[in-house]
Amino acid sequence: MITRWLKKVNLGQLLLLISLLISVRILILDEEVLVLVCFIILVLILRNKIGSYINDELVNRSKKTFSELQISYRDYSMHISTILTTLTVGQKVSDQLGYLLRFNNQVIITLFDKLVSDIYIFIQLFFKAVLTFITSLEMETTYLLRVLLCLELDKIVKINCDLINSDFLLSF
């Protein structure tokens, strides 16, 4: 439940929550808590920045590759049409032109499908590794938060018990 919440929380909400916990003295502001806060902020920033950067980079690469394929297709088509215009065989030339254009279209479609499938496989593998890494960081952070919360609650319970015991002894 906490991991789902941490995925949806933004940096401002997290800082507000930590400030609230410190002001209510559930978290005591010391070096360990500051390191934990900095680590959580770093994980959130990295998750946002790296995810969008990788996505943008892959989109840019695929657009560049697609434009190069279009240029290659245009050049290849122009080359075929230039060769076919030099031939003066009549109907045979017309039949060969249709065959070459169909062949050309089939080659380009096959190359493009291969490129798209390779990019999809790469994206799946890379994002799976990144998401696994982020999930492990998130689980470690959640564990540390639980431990810190339990320690602070234990301190509060001890203080409360001491106060109750001292009030009980003073009443006699």
Distance CA 80, CA 97 (A): 8
% pLDDT > 90, the chain: 7
Q: What is the pTM of this model?
A: 0.30
More reliable by pLDDT, 32 or 158: 158
Residue 21 is predicted with a pLDDT of: 80
**40 exposure class (CB count in 10 Å sphere: 0-12, 13-18, 19+):** buried
Domain spans, the chain: 2-146
Tell me the pLDDT of the chain averaged across its residues: 79
Residues in the chain: 172
The DSSP string of 35-90 is: HHHHHHHHHHHHHHHHHHHHHHHHHHHHHHHHHHHHHHHHHHHHHHHHHHHH---T
Structure-derived torsion over alpha carbons of residues 60, 63, 69, 75, reported in degrees to the nearest 10:
-100
Q: What average pLDDT does this structure show over 100-121? A: 86
**Do the Cβ atoms of 148 and 33 come closer than 8 Å?**
yes
pLDDT of residue 169: 58
Summarised one tens digit per residue, pLDDT across range 34-58 is: 787 788 778 777 776 777 777 788 8
Round the CA-based radius of gyration of the chain to a whole number and report it: 32
